Structure 1
Amino acid sequence: MARLRGTMPYLIALMLFGFGMFALYRLLAPVDIHALAAQIQSTPWQVIFMALLASLAGYLCLAGYDWSALHHIGKPLPLPVVLSGGFLAYAFGNTIGLTAVSGAAVRWRLYSGLGLDGYDIAAVSTFTAIAFGVAVTLVGLAALAIHPAALVSVLPLSTASVRLLAIAAILVVVLPLIWASLTRRQLRIGRFTLNAPSPVMLVVQWLISLGDIAFSALTLYLLLPAGSPDFMTFLPVFAAATMAGVLSHVPGGVGVFETIIIAALPATAGIDQIAAALLLYRLLYYLVPFAMALILLSLFEAWRALGGSTRHARLDRLFAATEPAFRAVEPAAPLLLAIMVFGSGMWMSLSALLPPVTQAAEAAEAFFPLAFIEGSALLASALGALLVVLSLGLVRRSLGAFWLTIATMLAGAVVTLLQQTETEQAVTLLIGVAILWPFRKAFHLRSMLTHSAMTPGWIALLLAGILSVGFVLFFAHKSTPYAHELWWQFATDANAPRALRSGLLISLLVGAASLLLLLRAPRFRPKPPDRATLTAAARIARASEDVDAGFVLTGDKTVMLSDDGKAFVMFGVSGASWLALGGPVGASEAAEEIAFTFIDAARRSGARPVFYQVGPEAVPLMLDLGMTLHKMGEKAVVDLTRFSLQGPSRKKLRTAHARAGRDGLTLQLALPPHSPALLAELRAISDIWLSAKKSREKGFSVGRFDADWLNHWPLALVRCDGRLVAFANLLTNGERKVGSIDLMRHSGDAPAGTMEFLFTELMLQLKAQGFTRFSLGMAPLSGLSFERSRRMWDRFGNLIYRHGGAFYNFEGLRAFKAKFDPDWVPHYLATPSGMPPLLPLADAARLIAAA
């Protein structure tokens, strides 16, 4: 059921896409492919230019959403950064429909580097989503109130009733907003609380939203034929189609949007002309901005490769001013380039199915020999299918996939140039190669070409591609009756047989390659690490700044190494979860590779991949992986460079430390290896401590009393008048700049304040040795604020934190660590689902207790 729930969104999107294609096919039944091509070619250039200007104006308004949201929360940012970042995010997100590109990941990378925290970024995302939803609703209702006859054909109501209902709906939406804005009160909708913008900001946002909807509608309206309704009548139709496309979750709303537009517009407008306008609209409003954003991103990457300096001072200033926006999108470049290559492959494949639609193409077919025509069509379809498959490898940053993609696109350009029928396609493929080239260093993984590439999302995308092939094949050649003999007809004018053979080759290549990838995907079986694996992991952990990476040496977790041996993930298996302790450890490129591998391995085994206690440095990677973050609490990290016992704020700590010294407490650091006699003495203290706590040894995220484990680390030994009364093992990184404590145990007769003395004296000694930071460990469920995030998990966790003292002293633990004036660093649980992570946490609790 868990796997079914995970794939259900993709199945629903694929089903809606299929229904949209079927409905579109039925609506386009009277349209001839040649008439459609003629209509597109006859569209005046000035009309196309005006539609393109309207499209770009619409994207400027889209970027304005983020600008107004940042001003609403009181965190304005430089205008060039907001506009460039907004354009890139919406240009990619509108076309692809992936939140990994247009939603949380881009905003996190962009705004977190400019001083905003996670709650601010969530507020921006919520504001823009609500603003768009309210805007498209109000614009559609207002247009419907002015022209109620727009949807009479699809609504069983009179025009008067439609107008009355539209006005009533507008008042229901607008009046509460105006009231909340004027009174500056909060608007509660169910369990959500919204802070209404000020009257001025409300007007500004309405203008931005009106511009967004109006300019995007105007882009299509300019392309519609002369018999179309006026703009105000067309506006509610466009708004309804846009909202249906968004709610369908189909990338770009393909099929759903077109079906509603064609069904709602009058037949007198000419269905072939409407279809031509929709194709041009897709090109101008989606593909052109997508291509422009990719070209800008590629130019920025080339500018960086040149050291941030060119001969053009204005260009340098432009990229310098917008650099944060480009850097925010840059990590998603492999995914974006993969989508570009996938689209190029689909274009080549579909072009092989279409009959010649220009006189030049027909003349070329008559001029070239039959063998050349047949062979070039099959070769073009095969190259297109190969690009579709190679796009899976580009997502994984495969070096082999990158070079094969370059070679395939160049070969495709040569084939189309030799045909002399698709010059635009050849130019586009060459531009694609130019876009790819500056990113060649991003494709560095030398693993299998498309290792673990068949995720549910890509499977759905491939199936949608095959559906598109079938749609184009049947639409382009619907006038040719099917017969078995078609497969064997070879002639210069036998376009339908040629398309059948090409379509079969495309489907076979894509389907066979996908099946091969699924069948050959190796299964990773969790098992205890051997000595060689532990040695390699220890080397990586020592080089890491995260001292918690040292927990790999406990030996109670499975270790998954990257192919180049430069990164690892340590994890345990419990229930239906594979739980990785922290994020991947090691070099960033190898860490990204092993994180993908871990998730794929878990899913192939029918388990849910989970990252437990992930720090903020791994958040962008988690978002790239498609994971949802749930705050677990905060880690207390002391900056040793400013830690001391001096000053009035440290009076209590200074007094307690002096009292401990008078009581005879001293602290000694003992370096490994430790003598058996010392370990035996410590074992006695540990047993007393466990007995007093009515507890037993734990594992996974903490160490346990084990001679091998303790011999990896220095020990902090607290003595009272020479008698050993407490100890802790000190985790450090290889550079001995960061420290943390794992086991902390004391005897029953240890003086009061022993553990506070241990922490204080240990930090003073580490500071003297040149350490810069010291981790006091997690304060579970600390810092969860339902009022800020409005997430059910934060409410649940906050309730446990405040009222769960009978089970665990959450507030007392935070108060103890707060004595040392630490920085509170948020840590997260990363799961595949946005639901409250009760099951993963239960699996983690069993894993920790099972040592």
Structure 2
Amino acid sequence: MSLEHGVEPGDMTTPASAVETPDSGTEPGRILRRLVVPTLTVLLLALAWFAVRRLAADVSYESLQSAIASIPVATLIAALALTALSFAALTVYDLGALAFVGRQLPLPIVALTSFSAYAVGNTVGFGALTAGAIRYRFYTSQGIEPEEIGGIVAFVTVSFGLGLAGVAGLGMLAAAGEFAHLPLPASSIKWMGAALVASLAALVLAAGEGRDVRLLGRAWRLPSRHLMLRQFLATAVDVSASAAVLWVLLPANSVDLPAVIALYAVAVGLGVLSHVPAGLGVFETVIVAGLGEQVGIDAVLGALVLYRVIYHLVPLVLAVLLVSVLEMRRVAGSPLATLALRAATRMAPPLIGAFTLVLSATLILSGVTPVGEDSLGLLEGVLPLPVVEGAHFLGSVLGVVLLLVARGLVFRLDGAWWMAMVLVPLSMLLSMAKGIAVGETVLLGTLLLALVAARREFSRPASLVHQALSPGWLLAVGTLIVTAAAVFFFVYQEVAYSHELWWQFELSGEAPRSLRAMMGIVLTAGFGAGWLLLRPFTANSALPTREELDHALHIVATQPRTEACLVGMGDKRLLFSDDGRAFIMYGRQGRSWVALSDPVGPRECWPELVWRFCELAGQAGGRAVFYQVGADSLALYADAGLMAFKMGEEAGVALADFDVKGGKRAGLRQALNRAERERMVFAILTPAEAEGAMAELSAVSAAWLAHHKVREKRFSLGAFDPDYLRGQPVAVLRQDDRIIAFSNLLLTGLQDEASIDLMRFVPDAPNGVMEVLLTHLMLHFRAAGYARFNLGMAPLSGLSASGAAPVWHRVGRAVFEHGERYYNFAGLRAFKAKFRPDWQPRYLAVSGGINPMLALTDITILISGGLKGVIGR
């Protein structure tokens, strides 16, 4: 809802009971859009593994096993200690970011958030499972504003990138001679390192105590020199410690630590830029190419395998166990314990989902690698061959199925939880039956414990098999399949292929068994992904029937927020909750599915409605958008994987304190006195009285539209429609028995909030006529016992002008200050400010990237009734 002078974007709706029709016209485009990015990334991954394979042409699987087995236990303990040091340094990132945005949280909570975010982000690193997404989910629940969270994520990202460059530069300076096998001379490497260090030193010197600088035509807020130095030190410790994890796993005295740190920094950077989950393959290629000639490729590969286990898998397991313990205790004896429990609640689904994804990869890779002679010897005589063969094949297939389950767990589906509770114990039995895989079984047992502990977090009764497979999850499937294929061909490179391999069944026949498992993995993944992509998409396409509209209006009458009355226009589709107690009203424009405001109905119905709406949009290949949502519901949208972008501020007047007496609102009192002298009479027409005056109201509306040369708006604003106006009272100002101004009222049955929609007046009306009408309304509803009068949105108001503000704020602020030619942003806010309201932020919730800009464009078209309405106003 908003006053008509404030153009407000947004709409997308669909009645739950409407006839479903296939959206066949967009099906090929929808599928292609989903496939482009995953396909390109998987091709890059395949090239990376091909490069590793060429570099490791002389390495056998047996020599790799020997290299891993030769690493002493003391070295593994040292690697674990260095991993702990690295993750401790990562906590400083979040502490510095919070300080940068002027926020503070207890150290244990920040440490838990940071540890969990990096445990997931380092290991999985895509889509809903990035460190930034997990931070957003948690910090939103702590009352931190979305723009502040954006600043936190940006600060952590930039500081890590700059610190990584600095560490790489220092490593080049210290160990240029170690890269003699590279085509660049040592002097060039030193100059590159010196340039990096000098650039960062200049940036630190320019920071001072924190100030704005102009770079590339934009203002940037620099943190203080002290904070920058602290962050660089944290990055140096983090990168050095994590690089040292890899270094200690290499043969002793084979290469100096500074050289490994420099190469490691470059490998991590390229892995991030590649967008391959966890930099898989890309990171390995750089490390093998840089160290293979000095250390021995089999030793490097062995160190990389253990590095992935120690630095990636172990922290994730610990994070899952920690959250499970907190969930099982459910103790909140102190404020800190309450915060920790809240953190565990928010972290559990993404952590458990990420862990399930990692274990699905473990089962898949286990299926394409040999079991080992010792394990097979123990199985011989205990289990018949068909059981071993079946366990090996079925265990690999279940690894693929767990991918789908992992996605469902991230999104809190109860069906995913139940399926996991069946598949995980079954996988444990199969892991023992196929080769007494104790480590694999222990990890699966840990997952089972976490699932039991966090049962209450998986409460969404949505269908698991009808979820849209997003590009990120398609990429996960492709990454695992390509990696499994690369491992399979590496392990059995010396086995000549023959058709007979498919039919060889013997306990020692490792290659045939893995070949069949690889076939099962590819077929299961291909069938599953293909079915999810190619199945016909159906979407509700009809506007609501009269019965559905009446039901929605009945729900509105029980709610406090008057903006929900806009459903009465009938121009928005409706999505009802399963129990029919709540709904979302929305519209569709381009690829944007735009829900107007928060869901309407009891708050306990909101989460499922938000999830269903996001999934409905995703299945159609669209973007889910929530327009003009409140700050108190942002955590709900964060859980659904959306980010919030401030749209402006909503003006609300507390009627108990509203009075025209005294100096604060002297201007309003003078306007009322002037209106009385000019014989203006205020009245509120009942719906029946408004029906009798409809012709006169229509004439006023038509004159207003013609005078202002505008078209009727839609979606987040009402239009002059007699059926719409009959639903609520209408406030009018008369002069000499002629209606000179009117506004339809938005009221609910709770009589808590009052507002208006249309604001129309004749061209010859006295100046300030709407100011007079609004003042009369506020005095009237104060006397009637209402608590609040909603003046609607001031678009782009209240956006930060700080150099530290996100790009969205800077763009919006520039439009607010310089866009008078197209829209009176500042004038609208100044008009509403006359009533001395409280200003509450309102947000656009949508996925990140360029989606906010695209969504806002679609919303503008939607409100304007089409592109012609945008151009022609």
Normalization by structure 2: what TM-score? Answer: 0.88
Inter-CA distance 169–345: structure 2 relative to 1 (3 Å threshold): closer
Once structures 1 and 2 are overlaid, which stretch shifts more, 34-43 or 476-485? Answer: 34-43
How far did residue 145 of structure 1 move? 0.9
Task: Supply the AA of the counterpart residue of 2:523.
Answer: L
Inter-CA distance 510–189: structure 2 relative to 1 (3 Å threshold): same
Q: Is the 8 A contact 1:631 1:828 kept in 2?
A: yes
How far did residue 655 of structure 1 move? 3.5
- Choose which of 499, 510, 517 in structure 1 pairs with 2:514: 499
Q: Is the 8 A contact 1:186 1:193 kept in 2?
A: yes
Inter-CA distance 458–541: structure 2 relative to 1 (3 Å threshold): farther
Task: Supply the AA of the counterpart residue of 2:707.
Answer: A
How far did residue 635 of structure 1 move? 2.0
Unpaired segments ≥5 residues, structure 1: 310-315
Normalization by structure 1: what TM-score? Answer: 0.90
Q: Is the 8 A contact 2:581 2:605 kept in 1?
A: yes
Inter-CA distance 640–112: structure 2 relative to 1 (3 Å threshold): farther
- Choose which of 153, 169, 174 in structure 1 pairs with 2:196: 169
Match of 2:187 in 1: 160
Give the 3-state SS of the residue equivalent to 1:354 in structure 2.
coil
Q: Distance in 2 between matches of 1:74 and 1:476?
A: 53
User: 1:234 aligned to 2:249?
Assistant: no
- Choose which of 67, 70, 78 in structure 1 pairs with 2:95: 67
Q: Distance in 1 between matches of 2:404 and 2:210?
A: 54
Match of 2:270 in 1: 244
Instruction: Map Cα deviations across residues 197-227 of structure 1 (whole Å, 9 max, x no partner).
Output: 4343333223212111111112222222225
Instruction: Map Cα deviations across residues 47-72 of structure 1 (whole Å, 9 max, x no partner).
Output: 22221121111111111012123334
Task: Supply the AA of the counterpart residue of 1:553.
Answer: G
How far did residue 391 of structure 1 move? 2.6
Q: Distance in 2 between matches of 1:69 and 1:839?
A: 29
- Choose which of 399, 421, 446 in structure 2 pairs with 1:431: 446
Match of 1:712 in 2: 727
Match of 2:361 in 1: 346
Q: Distance in 1 between matches of 2:370 and 2:794?
A: 67
Once structures 1 and 2 are overlaid, which stretch shifts more, 350-359 or 331-340? Answer: 331-340
Match of 1:773 in 2: 788
- Choose which of 155, 158, 165 in structure 2 pairs with 1:137: 165
Inter-CA distance 287–585: structure 2 relative to 1 (3 Å threshold): farther
Instruction: Map Cα deviations across residues 503-529 of structure 1 (whole Å, 9 max, x no partner).
Output: 211222222222222333532152222
Once structures 1 and 2 are overlaid, which stretch shifts more, 513-522 or 834-843? Answer: 834-843
Give the 3-state SS of the residue equivalent to 1:649 in structure 2.
coil
Task: Supply the AA of the counterpart residue of 1:529.
Answer: P
Unpaired segments ≥5 residues, structure 2: 1-28, 867-873
Q: Distance in 1 between matches of 2:854 and 2:272?
A: 31
Match of 1:148 in 2: 176
Task: Supply the AA of the counterpart residue of 2:671.
Answer: A
- Choose which of 106, 109, 114 in structure 2 pairs with 1:81: 109
Q: Distance in 1 between matches of 2:229 and 2:417?
A: 48
How far did residue 393 of structure 1 move? 3.2
How far did residue 712 of structure 1 move? 2.5
Give the 3-state SS of the residue equivalent to 2:484 in structure 1.
helix
Q: Is the 8 A contact 2:411 2:640 kept in 1?
A: no
Q: Is the 8 A contact 1:703 1:743 kept in 2?
A: yes
Inter-CA distance 665–102: structure 2 relative to 1 (3 Å threshold): farther
User: 1:262 aligned to 2:288?
Assistant: yes
Alignment of 1:526-675 (within 5 A): 526-575=541-590, 577-586=592-601, 591-602=606-617, 604-605=619-620, 607-627=622-642, 629-661=644-676, 663-672=678-687
User: 1:355 aligned to 2:388?
Assistant: no
How far did residue 626 of structure 1 move? 4.7
Q: Is the 8 A contact 2:83 2:245 kept in 1?
A: yes
Task: Supply the AA of the counterpart residue of 2:234.
Answer: I
Alignment of 1:368-447 (within 5 A): 368-418=383-433, 421-447=436-462
Task: Supply the AA of the counterpart residue of 2:392.
Answer: A
Q: Distance in 1 between matches of 2:557 and 2:377?
A: 67
- Choose which of 130, 148, 154 in structure 2 pairs with 1:120: 148
Inter-CA distance 775–519: structure 2 relative to 1 (3 Å threshold): same
- Choose which of 69, 73, 81 in structure 2 pairs with 1:45: 73
How far did residue 234 of structure 1 move? 1.6
Task: Supply the AA of the counterpart residue of 2:863.
Answer: I
Inter-CA distance 192–99: structure 2 relative to 1 (3 Å threshold): farther
Give the 3-state SS of the residue equivalent to 2:793 in structure 1.
strand
Q: Distance in 2 between matches of 1:284 and 1:221?
A: 13
Alignment of 1:753-792 (within 5 A): 753-785=768-800, 787-788=802-803
Q: Is the 8 A contact 1:106 1:329 kept in 2?
A: no
Instruction: Map Cα deviations across residues 628-671 of structure 1 (whole Å, 9 max, x no partner).
Output: 65543322222334433355323333333444455555544445
Task: Supply the AA of the counterpart residue of 1:236.
Answer: A
Inter-CA distance 643–21: structure 2 relative to 1 (3 Å threshold): farther
Q: Is the 8 A contact 1:101 1:332 kept in 2?
A: no
How far did residue 130 of structure 1 move? 2.2
Inter-CA distance 721–80: structure 2 relative to 1 (3 Å threshold): farther
Give the 3-state SS of the residue equivalent to 1:62 in structure 2.
helix
Alignment of 1:302-341 (within 5 A): 302-304=328-330, 308-309=331-332, 316-317=333-334, 320-321=335-336, 323-324=338-339, 327=342, 330-331=345-346, 333-341=348-356
Instruction: Map Cα deviations across residues 152-182 of structure 1 (whole Å, 9 max, x no partner).
Output: 322x2322332234224322331x2243134
Inter-CA distance 447–705: structure 2 relative to 1 (3 Å threshold): same
Q: Is the 8 A contact 2:211 2:224 kept in 1?
A: no
Q: Is the 8 A contact 1:578 1:602 kept in 2?
A: yes
Match of 1:827 in 2: 842
User: 1:482 aligned to 2:497?
Assistant: yes
Q: Is the 8 A contact 1:804 1:810 kept in 2?
A: yes
How far did residue 88 of structure 1 move? 2.1
